[in-house]
Amino acid sequence: MDTNESAQQVIDWLDQNQSIFIEMADQIWRTPELAWKEFKSSHLQADYLENEGFSVTWIGDLNTAFMAEWGEGKPILGFIGEYDALPGLSQKKQPTKEPIHEGEPGHGCGHNLLGAGTVASAVAVQKWLKSNDKSGTVRYYGCPAEEKGSGKVFMARAGAFDDLDAALNFHPAHLNTPSKGGAVGVNAIYFRFYGQTAHAGGSPHKGRSALDAVELMNVGVNYLREHVKDDVRMHYIITEGGKAPNIVPEEAEVYYFIRAAKPDYLAEVVERVRKVAEGAALMTETTFEVLFEEGCSALLSNHYLADLQYQAMQSIGPITFTEAEIEFAQKINDAFPGTNSDYIDDKIEYYKASPEIVAALDEYRDQPLVGRNFRALDEHIIATGSTDVGDLSQIVPVSLLSTTCFPTGVPGHSWGNVAASGMSIGHKGMLHAAKIMAVTAVKLYSDPNHLVKIHLEFKQQTGGKPYVSPIPEDVKPPHYGPEGD
């Protein structure tokens, strides 16, 4: 059987069985759960996969992380799903803002689609391997806490991805495109200072202010900014600054995100920030401790894998949206500032788009939904946000696919995304992603040469250096009971 026939088999299976995964995505959408508390979402997927013959293992001491495996031998391909929601984004399936339950969570990043679409892809590939008597292993990873908590970093530290040959994943977005870009890594750290309290009016000379130390540390870091590489980002908030102006603060705390594109350089900058804290403590005669909260590594993209995904996209064709969907999307766009055309301009600038891409995007200036497939647009871009896919990408080759699940002008993590994630626009983007990942996987199982090339590139990117977890050994993920709290 040639690969075209194989590709058609997985596409047909996904078309015939789409209602299962639309229902799975909708069910997760209806019961949005926050990071580390995705009990219903993870069990819904694990139970389904178990019924389909996968063997399910819950990973380490992480409540809501699991791996579902089917098949035997090499290659072992990982399908990487997520399912956590965002706080305060409850929203009805309608194009105007109205929560279902005020203040409750909602799927503002489309992770209901991300998880269910990736399950769909893994099962489509399993059926294809089975019906064609092919060897190879399919694994689905249910990954918790992407929005907050860096679940994959803990899974990576537990060795969950170590023996994968390649990983496939996607993220709901505004365009269909694989990725050749990078993203910076991040360390999230609290610096907590301890001083000596005193009456600020009566005997200030007896006080040693922890807040002074926090302020001086921030001043020091703001000077440090000039002497770091361009990709470095350092941002902070003061999480504790004392109780009243007439009490010299005994304790104060500042919370930092420190980002850089290379893991080694990130570690170097973190050490320099720590020295600034040391200086601030010395100046104010206070002490401090460093409380590491979370971190994730820089993202690498495998270009060869991105090109395979683009080939798959071309063979599948664009997403076709109905008039009703286009109207729904336009109403959402109208609710946010800027026009569809402004959004296209932003994308052209951000991607430093080639004339060919500019011409293609120009066709969508008046469209609230972009159904067309694009080759990787971000080849030279290092995003200055971070994702825990970074840690996965330092262990195994991956290219994070995007598919159109959201109206063009809707900002990330907004009620507009929640609305689109719960209806047919999101479902279509999800199925498109499931097909692209499945067709790509079929190619990887069918022709070992692809993986040889993918691994050659991966080795060049990492320099063959083994993965080092960005989180210290003693940092453990939080635990919540099944009822949550």
Closer to Zn ion by Cβ: residue 14 or 109: 109
The angle, 0 to 180 degrees and rounded to 10, between the axes of the packed helices 424-446 and 323-334 is 110
Considering only CA atoms, which of 336, 326, 421, 402 is closest in space to residue 108? Answer: 421
Q: Under 8 Å CB-to-CB from 96, ≥6 apart: which residues? A: 331, 335
Compute how many other C-beta atoms are within 10 angstroms of the C-beta atom of residue 411: 14
Q: Which residue sits closest to Zn ion, CB atoms considered?
A: 109
Stretch that binds Zn ion, among 108-116, 269-277, 302-310, 444-452 (CB under 5 A): 108-116
Closest CB 254 distance from Zn ion, rounded Å: 27
Least separation in angstroms between residue 448's CB and Zn ion is: 32
Number of H helices, E strands in the chain: 14, 13
- How is residue 282 written in tokens? 């010395």
Rounded to an integer, what distance in angstroms lies between the CA atom of residue 168 and that of residue 164? 11
Which residue, chain included where needed, has tokens 């694989």? 178
Q: Which residue, 24 or 109, is less far from Zn ion as judged by CB?
A: 109
Q: Kindly give the residue spans of alpha helices, DSSP state H, lying in 158-254.
A: 210-224
Which x/- pattern over 465-484 shows residues binding Zn ion (rule: CB under 5 A)? --------------------
* Position 441 contacts Zn ion (CB under 5 A): no
Residue 126's H or E segment, with its range, is: helix 111-131
Q: Rounded to the nearest whole angstrom, what is the least distance from the CB of residue 79 to Zn ion in the complex?
A: 16
Q: Can you tell me which residue has the tokens 């001491």?
A: 61
Alpha carbons 354 and 91: distance in angstroms, whole number: 37
Nearer of residues 89 and 228 to Zn ion, judged by Cβ: 89
Nearer CB in complex with Zn ion: 83/343:
83
**Number of chain residues interacting with Zn ion (CB under 5 A):** 1
Minimum Å distance from CB 213 to Zn ion?
A: 36
The reply to whether 312 sits near Zn ion by the rule CB under 5 A is: no
Cβ proximity to Zn ion: between 95 and 172 the closer is 172
Look at the chain and count its residues.
485
Stretch that binds Zn ion, among 109-117, 269-277, 318-326, 414-422 (CB under 5 A): 109-117
Taking contact as CB under 5 A, which single stretch among the options 83-91, 102-110, 272-280, 329-337 is the one that binds Zn ion?
Answer: 102-110
CA atoms of 125 and 132, how far apart (whole Å): 11
Decide if residue 109 touches Zn ion (CB under 5 A).
yes
Taking the least distance from each CB to Zn ion, the nearer of 86 and 160 is 86
Q: Which lies closer to Zn ion via its Cβ, residue 114 or residue 228?
A: 114
Which chain residues interact with Zn ion by CB under 5 A?
109
